[in-house]
């Protein structure tokens, strides 16, 4: 069985093709980026509409898979930005109708977890899922991926991008902050916001903004290289310590032996080091999703589609369980679900 998966929840339009054993045959994408500012939903939507056909064509050409070889079409049904989600949903519905193949909507967050489990070989991890819009600590219990802790405001990726915007780093800023932070030496104290298992980042952003303003006032409107490195270093130390602390608390409370790091921010070198060190201290295994599968991509959607399909999940059954918005505007069962939470999905494929 071959599944074609379409990702379009936010900045990336991706098409991946995965076989029944979870092997990634191709993983093509086009990502919306800017030199300044963040993701503007309409701009990202225009980007996806422009690149959709090109990405699909590349996926087919580079894998040698023909449209007639495809058995299943999966698409990211939510959560995400309404406009961008629709760009992928329209392509998915069209392909499904033309090819007369089943269509399956996938929860994007769960796809990040499943591709991480597949590549790590972990069966039952505590997952730290860190991406642009979402940041959650997840573990499987009683049929669903339960949220043990999560951000109370923005995802850590969006936080890093917003912080980077204050420094004019463009979008996405996360990889640039990762590099600049390596040159930082002095810790600039910032708020440390964690309550039990949940955490928040907006206060830290305001706090960092104030430090940047003070630096500009002191320095004729400019930011010195030393300050730039130190503030990136301090922001990373603070927010990644928060995430590591919450993950450690989760692993201490539930009887799991594996920690999985997945999502776009999983590519961060410092976060990986902090979690690896914590896992070593606790005597549990730690693995990170490979970089090419860390950020949003179509292969993870295809893989999650295969898992659900094999477990006999059908689109109509699934949609009845999930809340539907704007359903009247779209093909009934495949309406996008902008606020589809990880813990609303019955993960019947997990053994």
**Which residues make up the interface to Mg ion (CB under 5 A)?**
131, 296
| φ/ψ (deg, to 5) at 289 | -65, 140
Is the dihedral angle over the CA atoms 223, 161, 179, 282 positive or is it negative? positive
Shorter beta-carbon distance to Mg ion: residue 78 or 125: 78
Considering only 95, 173, 259, 299, the residue that binds ligand AMP (CB under 6 A) is 173
Please select the residue that binds ligand AMP; options are 14, 80, 149, 263, rule is CB under 6 A. 263
Q: Which is nearer to ligand AMP, 13 or 122 (CB)?
A: 13
Place of tokens 């074609």: 4
Using the contact rule CB under 6 A, the part of the chain among 13-21, 166-174, 186-194, 252-260 near ligand AMP is 166-174
Q: Is residue 169 at the binding interface for ligand AMP, with CB under 6 A as the rule? A: no
Task: Match 């056909």 to its residue by tokens.
Answer: 53
**Residues from 99 through 158 that contact ligand AMP (CB under 6 A):** 131-132, 157-158
For residue 79, whether the previous peptide bond is cis, meaning omega lies within 30 degrees of 0, is yes
Binds ligand AMP by CB under 6 A, chosen from 150, 161, 215, 258: 161
Q: If contact means CB under 5 to 8 A according to the sort of partner, which of Mg ion, ligand AMP, none does residue 172 touch?
A: ligand AMP
Residue nearest ligand AMP, CB atom distance: 264
The mark string for 2-31 relative to ligand AMP (x by CB under 6 A, - otherwise) is --------x---------------------
Q: Which is nearer to ligand AMP, 133 or 308 (CB)?
A: 133
Site for ligand AMP (CB under 6 A): how many residues? 19
Is residue 174 a contact residue for ligand AMP (CB under 6 A)? yes
CA-wise closest residue to 65 among 16, 21, 98: 16
Positions in 266-325 near ligand AMP (CB under 6 A): 267-268, 295-296
Structure tokens at 321: 């369980």
Name the minimum Å distance from CB 189 to ligand AMP: 21
d(CA 87, CA 50): 10
Cα–Cα distance between 27 and 24 in angstroms, integer? 7
User: Is the sign of the CA dihedral 174, 179, 180, 181 positive or negative?
Assistant: positive
Output 120 or 131, the one with its CB closest to Mg ion: 131
Chain CA centroid to CA 120, Å: 17
Nearer to Mg ion, 107 or 234 (CB): 107
In whole angstroms, what is the distance from residue 116 CA to residue 294 CA?
A: 8
Residue 243, Ramachandran bin (φ over 0: left; ψ between -120 and 50: alpha; else beta) = alpha
- 2/113 with CB nearer ligand AMP: 113
Q: Which does 160 bind (CB under 5 to 8 A by kind): Mg ion, ligand AMP, none?
A: ligand AMP
Q: Read out DSSP for 200-231?
A: --HHHHHHHHHHHHHHHHHTTT---HHHHHHH
Tell me the backbone φ, ψ of residue 21, rounded to 5 degrees.
-90, 10
Chain contacts with ligand AMP (rule: CB under 6 A): 10, 131-132, 157-158, 160-161, 172-175, 178, 263-265, 267-268, 295-296
């Amino acid at each position: 069985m071959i599944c074609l998966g379409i990702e379009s929840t936010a900045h990336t339009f991706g098409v991946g093709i995965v076989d029944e054993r979870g092997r990634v045959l191709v993983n093509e994408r086009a990502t919306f980026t800017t030199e300044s500012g963040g993701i503007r939903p309409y701009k990202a939507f225009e980007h996806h509409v422009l690149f959709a056909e090109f990405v699909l064509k590349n996926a087919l050409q580079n894998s040698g898979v023909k449209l007639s070889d495809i058995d299943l079409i999966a698409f990211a049904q939510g959560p995400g930005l309404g406009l961008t989600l629709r760009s992928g949903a329209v392509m998915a519905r069209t392909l499904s109708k033309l090819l007369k193949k089943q269509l399956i909507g996938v929860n994007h967050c769960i796809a990040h977890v499943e591709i991480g489990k597949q590549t790590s070989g972990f069966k039952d991890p505590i997952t730290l899922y860190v991406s642009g819009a979402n940041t959650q600590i997840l573990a499987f219990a009683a049929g669903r991926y339960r949220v043990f802790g999560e951000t109370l405001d923005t995802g850590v990726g969006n936080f890093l991008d917003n912080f980077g915007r204050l420094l004019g780093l463009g979008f996405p800023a996360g990889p640039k902050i990762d590099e600049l932070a390596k040159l930082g030496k002095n810790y600039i104290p910032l708020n440390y916001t964690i309550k039990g298992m949940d955490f928040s980042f907006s206060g830290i952003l305001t706090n960092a903004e104030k430090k940047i303003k003070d630096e500009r006032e002191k320095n004729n409107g400019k930011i010195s290289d030393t300050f730039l490195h130190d503030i990136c270093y301090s922001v990373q130390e603070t927010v990644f310590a928060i995430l590591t602390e919450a993950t450690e608390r989760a692993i201490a409370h539930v009887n799991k032996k594996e920690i999985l790091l997945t999502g776009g921010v999983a590519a961060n070198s410092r976060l990986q080091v902090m979690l690896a060190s914590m896992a070593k201290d606790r005597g549990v295994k730690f693995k990170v999703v490979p970089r090419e599968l860390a950020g949003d991509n179509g292969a993870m959607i295809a893989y999650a589609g295969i898992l659900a399909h094999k477990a006999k999940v059908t689109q109509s059954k699934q949609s009845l369980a999930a809340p539907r918005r704007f359903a009247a505007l779209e093909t009934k069962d495949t309406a996008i679900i902008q606020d589809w939470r990880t813990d609303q999905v019955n993960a019947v494929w997990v053994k």
